[in-house]
Structure 1
Amino acid sequence: MTIIALLQARNEERYLPGWLDNIAPAVDAIIAIDDGSADATPDLLAAHPKVIELMRRPVGEPWRERHNHIDLIKAGRRHGADWFLCIDADERVELRFQRQLPLLVAEAEQRGVEAFALRLREMWNDDRHYRVDGVWGTKARYRLFRNDPAHTKFDPRQLHRYWMPLEIVMRLGQVGANLPFAIYHLRMIALADRQARVERYKALDPTSQFQREGYDYLVDETGIELAAIAPDADFRTRP
């Protein structure tokens, strides 16, 4: 069972070493797109032994999330992927998920599961606590899915889109499942990063076409509640 991680990245030098440490042990290979980075992102990816293909976009081109996703999936199919794991450079997975991933996909094949959702934990103020109030406590994302070359329809949205083909999305009630593991999003730790995220998305989506609630909520701390990562759900190899 071949599991390939897919990554699109632009100027992620700050997060990539930790991402590679976190994701590489869980998968058989990594395929990445460097989307016009001006930092060491492409060098870090090219140097890693599990990166079997690195596509490069020219510097200065607009961010094209849909094109990146489709190109990465097509590349994974060329390399014989059975399953895809899609985790962003500023995200980390639990170590127990990392260790159990091969068993999870093997059991999924037997159960007819084609896609798994993981809880999305937005880290806040440090790398030990995440928000749980309101919508923050309910976030989840489908980031692990089975590869089927017969699936050729993809989410038309340019932002906040499903990675997996629509042939799976339309049948999630039958073939989707939730996992009791988390993805930890590190770019929400610092206020400056949260503010920069708001400005970036407002520039990419000025009319909130791809997210009805807009983006100001990303810096709104009204009613904030935080929870600590449980010891058995950590993503760090060392404290």
Structure 2
Amino acid sequence: MELTSIIMPCHNNLAYTSLAVESLFRHTKLPFELILVDEASTDGSKGYFDELRRSKTNVKVVTKGQEGFTSAVNRGLEIARGDLLCVVNNDLAFTPNWLDQLVLCLKTAGEKLHIREVGLVGPASNYVGGFQAVNNMRYTLSEVDSVAEKFHELNEGNWHYTHFLSGFCLLFTRKVFEEVGFLDERFNPGGFDDNDYCLRAFRKGFALIIAGDTFIHHFGSKTLDLPPFKHMKRGMANQEKFIRKWLDDKSQKVFAMYRIKNVERWIGQSLAKTSEFADGIVILDDGSKDGTPEIVKQFPKVVDYKYHNRSLQEARDRQELLEMTKSYNPDWIVAIDGDEVWEDKVNRDYIQRLARPFDPEINAYVVRYFTFWDDIKHYRADGIFGSMSNIRMFRNLPNQFMHSDHPQGFHVNSVPRFPWGCRAVTSIRVKHYGYVNEEDRLRKFLFYTKFDTDKRRTDIGNEDYHHLVSQTVRRRKWKEDCSL
């Protein structure tokens, strides 16, 4: 059975440490070793640790100077033997089956959420930032065990893909540690070391999951509130270090990828615009019978053009297109369809600014697209057409893939999945010309009505496809310059 190494840095606060250790032994059933890293405690913690080491065969104690939480974690990682590694604060109250539940999430969330290589998981808590926070929970410390059990019962399997996990309780695999390495000690004594580690893991292609069915009580900031660390402002003082570390001024390699078929009317205009900002363009043609292939050949930025004539399977085709584009090792990828044109303001400088975000946790950009109706001067503004947006530009990272659970592979997103926290919404508008002609709308309506055997509102936006042939629509005039 796998061993979990639990690393707990400690500086004074013996009352909190002893409560954490006692609840840990009471509620941890899986095999584990506890590595206590004593950072020059002066409150009797040393005697408590010595007694633990004598009475427990699975306790190790490391004594070090007062360098900070980040260094303490690294000293623990150096001697950890576990297949799984868990970094915890010393001001926690562990709850029944906490580790069993986190390990289950680590092992099975990938299959359930259709995500590759889950590498890190963390629980929910009363005192934590971001999406792990459970607000307005009222209980006494004597009630925390029963509260956590009820919380699990109500939320079992409630797991969420995320870009960040707080370091108060962070479980990760040995593989993550081998590939990502130690915590960055520039963040001593603490703060943004967890942001940095999660970002490094995310950039390596490891998925992070919130185990939203596991609750652990956190007293919160008990070490950083001590006099030696008051200047750290509970870790926020390290924010500038984090931003500066990840700032990247060099030019980014940006590729565009297209999946097209019979778009001779629009593809020239689309490729002309995209050529202004992309370093290369990759195209998968699903069997065009019109003049599309000849038009594509006129654009030097098209570095890869593949033509096939096989049965429609959007999920298969978009995955193939993604792999084709990734083979050129771009830093960022922009997904565009052959009947789409990005608005005039978007040029190379604009895209390069997006590709070098000030916030290093941004990995994807959302754009709005406007579907033109009956002519190229008016777009449809009612219903789902009035609020269409999606990710279209994203950072090229390992383990990305296209997913569809639709039986015919319809309604595949144009890009891989990204968690909410690492997306940014832009003001970019994309002009979508695929529904300008009534005959094209009717053709698509008849096709999807006949062949889509699993019509879902979440995919279509309605119960069926009648919005494609509606005769009662609201249109608005397009303005190329819509700045305030």
1:135 deviates by 2.4
State the TM-score, normalizing by the size of structure 1. Answer: 0.85
Match for residue 321 of structure 2?
A: 72
Q: Is the 8 A contact 1:181 1:233 kept in 2?
A: no
Residues 220/19 of structure 1: CA separation in 2 closer, same or farther (3 Å cut): same
C-alpha separation between the residues in 2 aligned to 1:203 and 1:46?
34
Contact (CA 8 Å) 2:402, 2:413: kept in 1 or not? no
Residue aligning to 2:436: 189
Following superposition of structure 1 onto structure 2, how do residues 113-132 of structure 1 map, counting pairs within 5 Å? 113-132=362-381
Q: Secondary structure at the match of 1:33?
A: strand
Q: Which amino acid aligns with 1:213?
A: E
The residue that corresponds to 1:237 in the other structure is none
Q: Which amino acid aligns with 2:466?
A: D
The structure having more radius of gyration, on CA atoms, is 2
Q: Is the 8 A contact 2:368 2:390 kept in 1?
A: yes
The alignment partner of 2:393 has SS state of: strand
> 1:163 Cα shift?
2.6
Q: Unpaired segments of 5 or more residues in structure 1?
A: 235-239
Residue equivalent to 1:213: 463
Which of 1, 12, 15 in structure 1 is aligned with 2:266?
15
Question: How far did residue 39 of structure 1 move?
Answer: 2.4
Q: Tell me the equivalent position of 1:151.
A: 400
Alignment of 1:1-239 (within 5 A): 1-58=252-309, 61-99=310-348, 100-107=350-357, 110-152=359-401, 154-157=403-406, 158-166=409-417, 168=418, 171=419, 173-209=420-456, 210-211=459-460, 213-222=463-472, 224-233=473-482
Structure with the bigger RCO (C-alpha within 8 Å, sep 6+) is 1
Structure 1 residue 35 displacement after superposition: 1.4
Output the CA distance in 2 between the equivalents of 1:199 and 1:71. 27
Structure 2's unaligned 5+ residue stretches are: 1-251
How much has 1:152 moved relative to structure 2? 4.5
- Indicate the residue corresponding to 2:240 in structure 1: none
CA contact (8 A) 1:155 1:165 kept: no
Partners in 2 of 1:93 and 1:178 — Cα distance? 15
Write the deviation string for residues 198-229 of structure 1: whole angstroms up to 9, x where unpaired: 1232244144255352211112133x322222
Return the letter of the residue paired with 1:189. Answer: V
Q: How many angstroms apart in 2 are the aligned matches of 1:115 and 1:220?
A: 33
- How many residue pairs align between the two structures? 226
CA deviations 1:114-165 (Å, max 9, x no partner) are 1111112111222111122232211112111111023346344412222322
Distance (Å, rounded) in 2 between the aligned partners of 1:183 and 1:200: 25
Q: Which amino acid in structure 1 is aligned with residue 390 of structure 2? A: R
Aligned-partner Cα distance in 2 for 1:113–1:204: 38
Measure, in 2, the Cα distance between the counterparts of 1:27 and 1:8: 16
Identity of aligned residues (%): 25
Could you state the TM-score of these two structures normalised by the residue count of structure 2? 0.44
Moved more, 185-194 or 199-208: 199-208
Is the CA contact (8 Å cut-off) linking 1:35 and 1:56 kept in structure 2? Answer: yes
Conserved? CA contact 1:154–1:164, under 8 Å: no
CA contact (8 A) 1:26 1:101 kept: yes
Using the TM superposition, give the Cα deviation of residue 111 of structure 1 relative to its aligned residue in structure 2, in angstroms: 3.5
Q: Given the superposition, is the C-alpha separation of residues 153 and 20 from structure 1 closer, same or farther in structure 2, using an over 3 Å criterion?
A: closer
Retained in 2: the 8 A contact 1:66–1:156? no
- Judged with a 3 Å threshold, the aligned counterparts in structure 2 of structure 1 residues 6 and 231 are, in CA distance, closer, same or farther, namely closer
Q: Which moved more, 1:156-165 or 1:25-34?
A: 156-165
